[in-house]
């Protein structure tokens, strides 16, 4: 009886004999965890409900307005603009972080003294809250006291506009984002590199394969699962990134950096139109949801391929 | 030749990554009146830290951060370890979709969750409470812990448990004596990472807490938008707020890579 319960497959006739408590044991054990987080399902439902109302902090009552908020949102050019900005920001920062992250990880995968000591300290930026990182960078690029301001003046660049100018604002936030999150990619890539078996590489070296060949056909496929995890995480998180832009410019200058989260915040808390703000977030969530499903399917396929090599 | 280039590239990145932190540390010892004239050479002072401690607010923010982050992680461990165990050991209907659901909580856009949570928290009196923030933090801390520990539990052959049980130990002792040591790397790594996620959280405390529960991240805002800026104090505040994480990272550095790669990326 016990063995049957342990494997979870019981012959139909005996099922009734297993006490209810034991049969539903897994669900019961999971219940607390579920209660804690299923609190999410409730707000999610609430979000959908309120997105169909004209709920606003300005007025006492709200009424059901159907799809009006959604129609307004889709016909608002600001919405499409924020979709574009969100995509730009997410793709740029993720791309930069992946490229630099993998590169640095490869460099760190040696046993030189430099690599070993650097491995320990290079995750520090990841530990810093993005708001604090923004604070730090703002201080550094400050024209009067910032060290970068000084350095740039030293080589003749006066008044680089950083966050104040629409052209350079995106560069600035991507810079801060990359500073914080590249170590994440490094960490995961290193974990992947560490898990590689020695044998294929030794035989490749014996056979005389070039470094690039080894990388492309051996290393890359085998670390692909790790790279994909890094990619999924980074993409998902940067699509929703709020603190860096909020802390730096609150979406400005103008609406240059108004990503979807920023727009939702502004609509909901600055203009106080909560009902109008919610569809923005639901759209973002849908994007994140579908993108993550696709990427995770990609990932499990890469897993299989990696273990088959 | 190649080696030299390699080292140069590494050092360049290291400079990029570490210099801002070092500079923060340096500036925190610089008195305001020397702020504009000097760059690296100045007479160090503890004035900034003294003001920070004396005014008292900042220590409160720091402690708030500590309570909610530690509280959240502890709660997640208490609830998550059994959950991970159940997901690993028992086969039951809906197991994979439940597991995926837990994972998806990590991906829920914070802003989207916050907007309705704001209303709910107001109505149920959870706004601006420690418990409210700890509960919300579960979204950040619980998925990671469950995900990593599930992988660890799956790696442990059930025979170990059976053997210990045959020896006559109660289920709880088996759990403590045999299983916990085996999952320790994963537990440490995921608990630490979750603590950092909670510590660094900005949007949740910003919108779901008011005057009572101000964390260091939200407090940073007032430095960003103030007109009379005491740069030295800002730097001191930043240094203090990142000190715990940096120390923790150094302390269990080796657990991090090992602990995460062992369980997390299994098929």
Selecting from A120, A132, A134 the residue whose C-beta is nearest the C-beta of B250 gives A120
Partners of residue A64 on adjacent β-strands: A53
Q: Using the beta-carbon criterion (under 8 Å), do A242 and B119 form an inter-chain contact?
A: no
Region A208-217: what's the mean pLDDT? 75
Q: Between A107, A195, A292, which is nearest B10 by CB?
A: A107
Asked whether the predicted pLDDT for residue B227 surpasses 60, the reply is no
Residue A2 has pLDDT above 50, yes or no: no
CA dist A77 and B160 (Å) reads 62
**Shortest Cα distance, chain B CAs vs residue A30, angstroms:** 5
pLDDT confidence of B252, banded at 50, 70, 90? Answer: low
Smallest Cβ distance to A26: which of B86, B120, B199?
B86
On whether any CB of chain A is under 8 Å from the CB of B48, the answer is: no
Q: Residue A66 above 80 pLDDT?
A: no
Burial tier of B96 (Cβ tally within 10 Å: 0-12, 13-18, 19+):
exposed
Cα torsion A292, A297, A301, A306: sign? positive
Least trusted range by pLDDT, from B81-85, B219-223, B239-243: B219-223
Of B59, B70, B196, which Cα lies nearest the Cα of B133?
A: B70
Residues B237, B240, B245: CA angle, nearest 5 degrees: 135
Sketch the domain layout of chain B as residue ranges.
1-45, 53-264
Q: What is the CATH T-level fold of the domain B53-264, as seen in this structure?
A: MetI-like fold (1.10.3720)
CB-CB neighbors (< 8 A) of B98 in chain A: 30, 34
pLDDT of residue B253: 67
Of A5-9, A194-198, B145-149, where does the model show the most confidence?
A: B145-149
What is the average pLDDT value for chain B, to the nearest integer? Answer: 79
Q: Does A184 or B31 have the greater pLDDT score?
A: A184
- Is some CB atom of chain B closer than 8 A to the CB atom of A240? yes
Averaged over B221-231, what is the pLDDT?
A: 68
More confident site: B134 or A302: B134
Total Cβ atoms within 10 A of residue B109? 25
pLDDT above 90 coverage of chain B, percent? 6
Contact residues, A window 68-97, toward B, CB-based 8 Å cutoff: none
**Do A203 and A291 contact (CB within 8 A), yes or no?**
no
B120 interfacial to chain A (CB closer than 8 Å): yes
ipTM of the complex, rounded to two decimals: 0.79
Q: Can you tell me the distance from the alpha carbon of B232 to that of A78, in angstroms, rounded to the nearest whole number?
A: 39
Place of tokens 């240059």: A256
Task: Report CB contact under 8 Å: A261, B111.
Answer: yes
Question: Taking CB atoms and an 8 Å cutoff, what residues of chain A touch B250?
Answer: 120
CB contact under 8 A, A139 and B105: no
Top residue of A15, A28, A37, A222 to mutate, by most chain B CBs within 10 Å, is A37
By C-alpha distance, the chain A residue nearest B249 is A124
Residues in chain B: 267
Of A34, A135, A236, the CB nearest to B238: A135
- pLDDT at site A181: 93
Does A145 lie at the interface with B, CB-CB under 8 angstroms? Answer: yes
Is the confidence at residue A192, as pLDDT, over 70?
Answer: yes
Q: What is residue B254's predicted lDDT score, i.e. its pLDDT? A: 63
pLDDT at A268: 80
Q: What percent of chain A has pLDDT over 90?
A: 10
Report whether pLDDT(A62) > 70: no
Q: What is the distance in angstroms between the Cα of B242 and the nearest Cα belonging to chain A?
A: 6
What count of other Cβ atoms lies within 10 Å of the Cβ of residue A199?
8
The continuous run of DSSP H or E covering A202 comes out as helix A198-207
* HEC-encoded secondary structure of chain B: CHHHHHHHHHHHHHHHHHHHHHHHHHHCCCCHHHCCCCCCCCCCCCHHHHHHHHHCHHHHHHHHHHHHHHHHHHHHHHHHHHHHHHHHHCCCCCHHHHHHHHHHHHHCCHHHHHHHHHHHHHHHCCCCCHHHHHHHHHHHHHHHHHHHHHHHHHHCCHHHHHHHHHCCCCHHHHHHHHHHHHHHHHHHHHHHHHHHHHHHCCHHHHHHCCCCCCCHHHHHHHHHHCCCCCHHHHHHHHHHHHHHHHHHHHHCHHHHHHHHHHHHCCC
Set out the domains of chain A in order of their start, with CATH numbers. 67-308 (1.10.3720.10)
Confidence of residue B265 (pLDDT cuts 50, 70, 90): very low
Could you read off the pLDDT of A278-294 as tens digits, one per residue? 888 888 888 887 877 78
Counting one residue from chain A and one from chain B, the pairs whose CB atoms sit within 8 A come to: 249
What is the model's pLDDT at position A305? Answer: 73
Chain B residue with Cα closest to A288: B107
pLDDT 10s digits, B208-221:
887 777 888 888 77
**Looking at the complex, does the CB of residue A229 fall below 8 Å from at least one CB of chain B?**
yes
The helix/strand/coil state of A75 is: coil
Range scoring the smallest mean pLDDT among A44-53, A101-110, A225-234, B192-201: A44-53
Q: State which residue of chain A sits closest to B225, comparing Cα positions.
A: A247
Reading the block at residue A33, the tokens are 């965890």
For the whole model, what pTM was predicted? 0.79
Q: Which of residues 132-151 of B touch A (CB under 8 A)?
A: 135, 138-139, 142-143, 146
| Separation of alpha carbons A41 and A37, rounded Å | 8
Contact B256 A187 (CB under 8 A): yes
* pLDDT for residue A190: 85
Q: Are B20 and A140 within 8 A, CB to CB?
A: yes
What pLDDT score does A102 carry? 92
A156 backbone φψ class: left, alpha, beta (φ>0; ψ -120 to 50): left
pLDDT at position A8, please? 52
pLDDT of residue B267: 38
Of A47-56, A165-174, A241-250, give the lowest mean pLDDT range.
A47-56
> What confidence tens digit (pLDDT) does each residue in A133-150 have?
988 888 888 767 777 777
The distance of B258 to chain A (nearest Cα, Å) reads 7
Would the pLDDT of B262 be above 70?
no
Residue A81 in this model has a pLDDT that exceeds 60: yes
Q: Say if the Cβ atoms of B135 and A44 lie within 8 Å.
A: no
Work out the percent of chain B whose per-residue pLDDT is above 70: 87
The rounded distance, in Å, linking the Cα atoms of B152 and B149 is: 5
Location of structure tokens 């409210």: B132
The answer to whether residues A46 and B119 touch, using CB atoms and an 8 Å cutoff, is yes
How far is the alpha carbon of A203 from chain B, nearest alpha carbon, in Å?
Answer: 23
Per-position DSSP letters for A251-304, written without gaps between them: T-STTTT--HHHHHHIIIIIS--HHHHHHHHHHHHHHHHHHHHHHHHHHHHHHH
Cβ atoms of residues A280 and A260 within 8 Å? yes
Tell me the pLDDT tens digit for each residue of B52-63. 777 767 788 888
Task: Answer yes or no: is pLDDT of B173 > 70.
Answer: yes
Note whether B201 contacts A187, CB cutoff 8 Å. Answer: no
pLDDT digits (tens, 9 = 90+) for A87-133: 999 999 999 999 999 999 988 888 788 888 888 888 889 888 888 89
Evaluate the omega torsion of the peptide bond into residue A253 and state whether it is cis, within 30 degrees of 0: yes
Strand partners, A53: A64
pLDDT of residue A18: 63
**Dmax (CA) of chain B:** 75
C-beta of residue A280 within 8 angstroms of C-beta of residue A82:
yes
Chain B touched by A302 (CB under 8 Å) = no
List the single best residue of B84, B116, B225 to mutate versus A (max A Cβ within 10 A).
B116
**A residues 161-180 lying closer than 8 A (beta carbon) to B:** 179
pLDDT given for residue B69 in this prediction:
92
Of A141, A171, A298, which is closest to residue A232 (Cα–Cα)? A298
Phi (first) and psi of residue B160, to 5 degrees: -60, -45
* Residue A217 dihedral angles phi and psi, to the nearest 5°: -95, -20
């Amino acid at each position: 009886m016990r063995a049957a319960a342990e494997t979870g497959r019981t012959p139909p006739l005996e099922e009734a004999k297993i006490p209810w408590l034991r049969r539903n044991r897994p669900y019961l054990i999971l219940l607390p965890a579920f209660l804690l987080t299923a609190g999410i399902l409730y707000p999610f439902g609430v979000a959908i409900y309120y997105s169909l109302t004209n709920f606003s902090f300005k007025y006492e009552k709200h009424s059901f307005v159907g799809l009006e908020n959604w129609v307004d949102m889709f016909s608002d050019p600001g919405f499409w603009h924020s979709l574009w900005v969100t995509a730009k920001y997410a793709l740029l920062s993720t791309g930069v972080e992946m490229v630099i992250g993998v590169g640095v990880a490869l460099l760190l995968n040696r046993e030189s003294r430099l690599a070993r000591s650097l491995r320990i300290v290079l995750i520090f930026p990841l530990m810093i809250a993005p708001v604090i990182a923004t604070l730090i960078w703002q201080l550094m690029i400050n024209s009067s006291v910032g060290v970068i301001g000084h350095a740039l003046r030293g080589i003749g660049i006066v008044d680089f506009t950083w966050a104040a100018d629409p052209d350079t604002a995106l560069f600035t936030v991507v810079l801060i984002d990359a500073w914080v999150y590249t170590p994440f990619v490094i960490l995961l890539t290193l974990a992947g590199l560490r898990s590689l078996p020695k044998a294929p590489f030794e035989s490749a070296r014996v056979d005389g394969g070039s470094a690039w060949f080894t990388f492309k056909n051996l290393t890359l496929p085998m670390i692909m699962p790790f790279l994909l995890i890094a990619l999924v995480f980074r993409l998902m998180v940067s699509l929703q990134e709020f603190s860096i832009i909020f802390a730096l410019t609150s979406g400005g200058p103008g609406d240059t950096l108004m990503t979807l989260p920023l727009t939702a915040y502004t609509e909901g808390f600055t203009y106080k139109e909560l009902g109008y703000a919610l569809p923005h977030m639901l759209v973002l969530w849908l994007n994140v949801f579908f993108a993550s499903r696709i990427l995770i399917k990609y990932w499990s396929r890469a897993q299989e391929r990696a273990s088959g090599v | 030749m190649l080696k030299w280039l390699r080292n140069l590239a590494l050092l360049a990145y290291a400079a990029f990554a570490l210099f801002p932190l070092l500079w923060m540390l340096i500036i925190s010892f610089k008195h305001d009146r020397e702020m504009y004239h000097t760059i690296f050479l100045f007479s160090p002072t503890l004035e900034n830290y003294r003001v920070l401690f004396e005014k008292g607010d900042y220590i409160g923010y720091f402690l708030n951060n500590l309570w909610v982050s530690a509280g959240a992680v502890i709660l997640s461990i208490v609830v998550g370890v059994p959950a991970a165990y159940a997901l690993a050991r028992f086969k039951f209907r809906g197991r994979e979709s439940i597991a995926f659901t837990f994972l998806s909580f990590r991906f829920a856009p914070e802003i989207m969750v916050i907007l309705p949570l704001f209303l709910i928290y107001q109505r149920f009196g959870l706004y601006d409470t420690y418990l409210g923030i700890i509960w919300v933090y579960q979204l950040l801390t619980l998925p990671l812990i469950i995900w990593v520990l599930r992988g660890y539990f799956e790696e442990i052959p059930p025979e170990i448990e059976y053997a210990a049980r045959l020896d006559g130990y109660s289920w709880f002792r088996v759990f403590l004596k045999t299983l916990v040591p085996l999952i320790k790397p994963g537990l440490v790594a995921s608990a630490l990472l979750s603590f950092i996620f909670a510590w660094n959280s900005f949007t949740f405390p910003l919108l779901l807490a008011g005057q009572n529960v101000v964390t260091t991240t939200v407090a940073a805002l007032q430095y960003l938008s103030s007109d009379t800026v005491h740069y030295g104090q800002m730097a001191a505040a930043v240094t203090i707020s990142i000190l715990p994480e940096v120390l923790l990272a150094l302390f269990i550095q080796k657990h991090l890579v090992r602990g995460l790669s062992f369980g997390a990326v299994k098929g």
